[in-house]
């Protein structure tokens, strides 16, 4: 493999000749042989990412060609995936054209100084000709991204002609104002036309819309859009209501934006002991690792970070609906639940024919997929998946509900690690309240506060409550009292003792055994954040759906006070 920085020019030219021969082409030695009207993809995120890393030695075009002056196969592979993603074309339709370095230099000079090419770029044309309705959708998504929102909720009331929009930021819904009109109410007509444009134009062009927009019918679609910082996948979900219709747009990054600062699960927020169990399980040669939690709890992010750390010599396949993060070391396969050939059951049966070392199923939904996952995990493959449960041990119960017997689940080497995680809101440091500043209100109930004060009495100096008062004017958190979220989790290693409990179906006994031996539950993890003043006790209880209880004689007093 040779890079553009190789000092040995002779070796580099030899490598280019070998690359040209491999791709059954000749080396382009002058610019004139390239068509002057070549539609270069200068605004592509793939183009920019490649250029940032490899300089002016790789160029992508909209005719499915990669122009290159380096024999760096990793770079070419990345460029190929970029074209496939941009153009939705088959891998075998990508053409590699090998150029001398001087030709690449001249091409970039011509492109960078050609106003005609820049103004004639197809992406720029699409921006110029976008309708008012499309621009409104663009603006909403752009503003949501700027505010770190994960979802956009749109409620259209066709009787009043008004619509309400809210962004989910750090797990909380915040009303979004129409700043042009200066009101919280939006025009139902404008929003309806915007959603119609989003589905009928953008989604259809990306093969994401199974049907045309109809506010009276449920609709699911996947839409690819570009914002200022990166390209996003928008998961569109729509349902009719009694007064109109409701739309939820989930914003998913195509590139893993956590990679720059969060390269390990410990950096995601897992304590060192838990992170060690996860990372050790992730390098097993076989078995099943499950990350559980509700929708939007960061399960896919955790699995993506683990998979990114796996050795590059492994054959890794992921099956996802939709693909959330681009993983350079994995072959990622989109699942289409409504397709006969690309649904979860069919793809899970096909997965073992692809000679995998590691398989990740984005979600375990039914008995058919559960059976295939168990088969893969017991035939020499390492399998990752996610479940919707309310505890790590609950993964066993859920698999049993899907038809996997306790004896099967207790087989040595099958279950490796079970994880349950949630995202816990953190208090805004600018407006957080001390315990003696908290007053009774509709948001903060006095009886609950008194119980929490009793439980946390030895740590009240450090405890902080979120300021959810209607009079909170904090601009840092937009008056919500919350700014940020952290992972709280519990991790269970399935060892010989655990398998004995599983074989008997004695999950209650297993839980008691873990707690008696100092195991850190998700409640324990969350309590650490509460005691440090980072998390509000009231929000923590609401997220975990479990009260903080006093484990001594004061229990009676707590009962009386509550």
Instruction: Give the pLDDT of residue 483.
Output: 92
Question: Stretch 265-275: mean pLDDT, rounded?
Answer: 92
**Distance of CA 309 to CAs 117, 150, 273, 314, 429, Å?**
40, 26, 18, 11, 34
Please indicate whether residue 7 or residue 470 has the higher confidence score (pLDDT): 470
Calculate the CA 238 to chain-centre distance.
20
36-40, 177-181, 243-247, 432-436: lowest mean pLDDT where? 36-40
With CA atoms as reference, report the closest residue to 523 among 387, 392, 385, 388: 392
- Phi, psi angle pair for 405, to nearest 5°: -70, 155
Q: Would the pLDDT of 360 be above 80? A: yes
Instruction: Give the pLDDT of residue 492.
Output: 97
Alpha helix (H) ranges present in 101-162?
101-112, 115-119, 122-128, 132-146
Instruction: Give the pLDDT of residue 255.
Output: 53
92/64 Cα distance (integer angstroms): 10
Mean pLDDT of the chain: 81
Q: What pLDDT, in 10s, does the model give residues 472-499?
A: 888 888 888 999 999 999 999 999 999 9
Which residues contact residue 244 at a Cβ distance below 8 angstroms, ignoring those fewer than 6 apart?
155, 156, 157, 158, 159, 163, 188, 215
Instruction: Give the pLDDT of residue 6.
Output: 42
Please indicate whether residue 387 or residue 70 has the higher confidence score (pLDDT): 387
Among 165-174, 295-304, 507-516, top mean pLDDT goes to 507-516
The band of 552, judged by pLDDT with boundaries at 50, 70 and 90, is: very low
The band of 115, judged by pLDDT with boundaries at 50, 70 and 90, is: very low
Longest CA pairwise span in the chain (Å): 88
1-15, 140-154, 238-252, 520-534: lowest mean pLDDT where? 1-15
Instruction: Give the pLDDT of residue 117.
Output: 37
Q: What pLDDT, in 10s, does the model give residues 290-324?
A: 999 998 898 988 999 999 989 889 999 999 887 77
Q: Would the pLDDT of 445 be above 50? A: yes
Question: Stretch 144-160: mean pLDDT, rounded?
Answer: 92
Burial class, 16, CB count within 10 angstroms (exposed 0-12 / middle 13-18 / buried 19+): buried
65-79, 206-220, 301-315, 415-429: lowest mean pLDDT where? 206-220
Residue 460 near residue 435 (C-beta atoms within 8 A): yes
Instruction: Give the pLDDT of residue 306.
Output: 93
Instruction: Give the pLDDT of residue 403.
Output: 94
Instruction: Give the pLDDT of residue 344.
Output: 86
Q: What pLDDT, in 10s, does the model give residues 43-87?
A: 566 676 776 677 778 888 877 888 888 887 778 888 887 777 777
10-14, 275-279, 361-365: lowest mean pLDDT where? 10-14
Please indicate whether residue 126 or residue 543 has the higher confidence score (pLDDT): 543
Instruction: Give the pLDDT of residue 114.
Output: 52
**Distance of CA 366 to CAs 237, 275, 372, Å?**
22, 29, 10
Question: Locate tokens 């998946």: which residue?
Answer: 385
Question: Locate tokens 């109410």: which residue?
Answer: 185
Which residues contact residue 305 at a Cβ distance below 8 angstroms, ignoring those fewer than 6 apart?
258, 262, 263, 264, 265, 268
Residue 331 near residue 316 (C-beta atoms within 8 A): yes
Q: Would the pLDDT of 254 be above 50? A: yes
The band of 242, judged by pLDDT with boundaries at 50, 70 and 90, is: very high
Instruction: Give the pLDDT of residue 4.
Output: 43
The reported pTM is 0.68
Question: Locate tokens 């396969």: which residue?
Answer: 333
Token readout for 332 is 């990622």
Please indicate whether residue 96 or residue 230 has the higher confidence score (pLDDT): 96
Which residues contact residue 56 at a Cβ distance below 8 angstroms, ignoring those fewer than 6 apart?
104, 105, 108
Set out the domains of the chain in order of their start, with CATH numbers. 9-125 (no CATH), 134-252 (3.30.450.90), 265-421 (3.40.50.300), 424-561 (no CATH)
Instruction: Give the pLDDT of residue 440.
Output: 57
């Amino acid at each position: 493999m040779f890079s553009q920085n190789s000092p040995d020019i002779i070796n580099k030219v030899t490598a280019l000749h070998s690359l040209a021969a491999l791709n059954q082409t000749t080396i382009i030695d002058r610019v004139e042989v390239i068509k002057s009207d070549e539609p270069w993809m200068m605004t592509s995120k793939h183009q920019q990412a490649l250029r940032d890393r490899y300089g002016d030695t790789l160029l992508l075009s909209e005719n499915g060609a990669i122009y290159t002056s380096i024999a760096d196969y990793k770079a070419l592979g990345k460029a190929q995936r970029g074209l496939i993603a941009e153009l939705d074309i088959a891998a075998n339709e990508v053409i590699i054209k090998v150029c001398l370095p001087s030709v690449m230099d001249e091409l970039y000079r011509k492109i960078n100084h050609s106003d005609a090419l820049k103004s004639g770029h197809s992406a720029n044309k699409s921006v110029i000709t976008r309708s008012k309705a499309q621009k409104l959708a663009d603006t909403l998504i752009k503003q949501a991204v700027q505010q770190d929102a994960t979802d956009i909720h749109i409620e259209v009331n066709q009787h009043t002609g008004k619509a309400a929009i809210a962004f989910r930021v750090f797990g909380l819904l915040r009303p979004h104002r129409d700043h042009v009109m200066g009101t919280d109410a939006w025009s139902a007509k404008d929003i309806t036309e915007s959603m119609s444009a989003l589905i009928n134009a953008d989604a259809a062009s990306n093969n994401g819309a199974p049907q045309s927009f109809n506010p009276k019918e449920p609709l699911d679609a996947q839409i690819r859009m570009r914002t200022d910082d990166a390209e996003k996948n928008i998961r569109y979900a729509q349902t009719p209501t009694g007064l109109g219709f409701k739309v939820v747009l989930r914003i998913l990054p195509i590139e893993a934006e956590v990679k720059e600062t969060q390269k390990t699960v410990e950096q995601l927020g897992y304590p060192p002991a838990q992170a060690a169990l996860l990372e050790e399980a992730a390098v097993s040669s076989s078995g099943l690792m499950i990350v559980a939690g509700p929708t939007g709890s960061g399960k896919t992010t955790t699995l993506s970070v683990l998979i990114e750390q796996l050795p590059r010599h492994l054959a890794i396949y992921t099956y996802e609906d939709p693909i959330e993060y681009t993983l350079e070391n994995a072959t990622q396969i989109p699942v289409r639940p409504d397709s006969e050939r690309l649904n979860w059951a069919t793809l899970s049966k096909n997965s073992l024919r692809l000679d995998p070392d590691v398989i990740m199923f984005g979600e375990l939904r039914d008995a058919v997929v559960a059976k295939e996952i168990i088969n893969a995990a017991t035939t020499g493959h390492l399998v990752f998946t996610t479940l919707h449960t309310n505890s790590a041990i609950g993964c066993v119960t859920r698999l049993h509900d899907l038809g996997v017997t306790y004896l099967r689940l207790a087989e040595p080497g099958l279950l490796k690690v079970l994880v349950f995680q949630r995202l816990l809101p953190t208090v805004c440091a600018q407006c957080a309240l001390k315990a003696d500043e908290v007053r009774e209100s509709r948001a903060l109930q006095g009886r609950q506060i008194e119980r929490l004060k009793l439980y946390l009495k030895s740590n009240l100096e450090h405890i902080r409550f979120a300021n959810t008062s209607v009079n909170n004017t904090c601009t840092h958190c937009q008056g919500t009292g919350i700014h940020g979220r952290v992972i709280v989790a519990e991790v269970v290693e399935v060892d010989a003792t655990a398998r004995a409990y599983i074989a008997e179906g004695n999950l209650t006994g297993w839980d008691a055994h873990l707690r008696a031996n100092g195991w850190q539950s998700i409640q324990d993890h969350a309590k650490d954040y509460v005691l440090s003043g980072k998390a509000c006790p009231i929000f923590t209880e609401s997220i975990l759906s479990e009260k903080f209880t006093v484990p001594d004689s004061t229990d009676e007093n707590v009962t009386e006070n509550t």
